[in-house]
A = this chain, B = another copy of it.
Amino acid sequence: MGYERAKEQPLTFVLVHGSFADVRFWNGVAGMLRKMGHKVFVPEYPGHGSDPNTNVTHGMISRAVADFILARQLRDIILVGHSFGGSVVQKTAELVPDRIKRLVFMNGFVIGEGQSVVDQFPPQVQQLFEQLRQLSPDDTIMLPFPVFRDAFVNLADLQLARQLYSEVRPEPAKPSFEKLDLKAFYKLNIPRSYLYLTDDNLLPQGEGYGWHPHMSGRLGLFRLIRSDGDHMTYFRTQPALLAQKLVEASRD
């Protein structure tokens, strides 16, 4: 039924990846969405992909995504943010609200006014990030494998976990530590959805933390769609499932 509807209502997706990733993160899901008849755009942003600069700000990133949308004259878009990309979607929505039909957070950060991405983690994890940042020569954070394996790809087997880890690049630290002014975001009336992957334990689930219902609850009225999946594995192994769920989160 989703496939039939897609023919009737093709959607225009802009997919924003998260930390420790680049545009290739969306390859599987984007391919499935295109097969279903949708248009899909995947912007790269500063400090990622082929950009060697690690001295980037959160504002540079959201500005780059907004410019991508404007340069291609995209309208009525479904703006999707995964993980750190959620916070990018929040700030991009402030810049080009009239281009966006619906915001979709896919285990994406929904930052509270005046907070940072790192603020969403428990104190011990914040300390770990701070230490990793200090240890790096270029103000980046690189995940130790045991953290990646158990917290990011808990559903993967070891071989796949190693493969996915080999693709991880150090993440510029600054944007995740910046306190974000989101007053304009919290006045927007753009429809929004939360696609919640229920096996994702990167953030503690519940009791003051977590993707859903803790951060999703900041969205006010939103459409909830749930799916199996941890933080990263199913993007590689179950792209058809995630694309289908993304359409359910995105359709009118």
A124→B220 contact, CB < 8 A:
yes
Closest B residue to A249 by beta carbon equals: B154
A48 lies within 8 A of chain B by Cβ: no
A146→B191 contact, CB < 8 A:
yes
Closest B residue to A223 by beta carbon equals: B150
A207 lies within 8 A of chain B by Cβ: yes
A59 lies within 8 A of chain B by Cβ: no
A199 lies within 8 A of chain B by Cβ: yes
Band of interface residues on A? 35 or more
**Cα–Cα distance between A1 and B237 once the two chains are bound (Å):** 12
A214 lies within 8 A of chain B by Cβ: yes
B220→A198 contact, CB < 8 A:
no
A109-125 CB mask vs B (1 if < 8 Å, else 0) is 00000000000000010
A158 lies within 8 A of chain B by Cβ: yes
Known A157-B2, A225-B154: A205·B212 in contact at CB below 8 Å: yes
Q: Which of B150, B158, B204, B248 contacts A155 (CB 8 A)?
A: B248
B205→A150 contact, CB < 8 A:
no
Known A147-B221, A213-B205: A5·B157 in contact at CB below 8 Å: yes
**Chain A positions 133-159 with a Cβ under 8 Å from a chain B Cβ:** 146-147, 149-151, 154-155, 157-159
Q: Which of B199, B201, B217, B221 contacts A222 (CB 8 A)?
A: B201
Q: How far is the CB of A125 from chain B (nearest CB, A)?
A: 8
**Chain A positions 182-206 with a Cβ under 8 Å from a chain B Cβ:** 191, 193, 198-199, 201, 204-206
A-B CB contact pairs (8 Å), 23 listed: A5-B158, A5-B159, A124-B220, A146-B191, A150-B221, A150-B222, A150-B223, A151-B221, A151-B223, A154-B223, A154-B224, A155-B225, A155-B248, A157-B251, A199-B224, A204-B213, A205-B213, A205-B224, A206-B213, A207-B207, A207-B213, A207-B217, A224-B230
